[in-house]
Amino acid sequence: MGSEEVTRGARNDWRNLLEPGVNALGFELVDVELAGGGGHQTLRVYIDSPEGVDVDDCADVSRQLSAILDVEDPIAGEYSLEVSSPGLDRPLVTPAHYRRFVGETVKLTLSQPLDGRRKFK
């Protein structure tokens, strides 16, 4: 995922707007990022499913979300929409994400150190 992050409140707003459209096509909304500023922003949407995600899936979700964004118009000015799978470095954002990967090895980076450490495996 990119270095740009959406604040927790904004992430919930994006999730509320986009998740029904993603779910309607049988996918899970993993995360949302809004990057850039000024004259152009990029909205990155990460999707997944138990069967995985391919390019055609991303295109289908992109068309679905474009229709929602055209109606709701939540981004001022020009923007690009990117839809992809989260890849190997997927973030664990919701409690369901953590449950899905129980028993797997993960890398954690804490926002506040714990016993002088921020990174754990």
Please, how many CA atoms are within 13 Å of residue 75, restricted to the half-sphere of its CB? 23
pLDDT in tens, 30-42: 999 888 877 788 9
Q: How far apart are CA 35 and CA 94, in angstroms?
A: 21
pLDDT in tens, 43-93: 999 999 989 999 999 999 999 999 999 999 888 888 999 999 988 777 777
Domains of the chain: 8-88 (3.30.300.70)
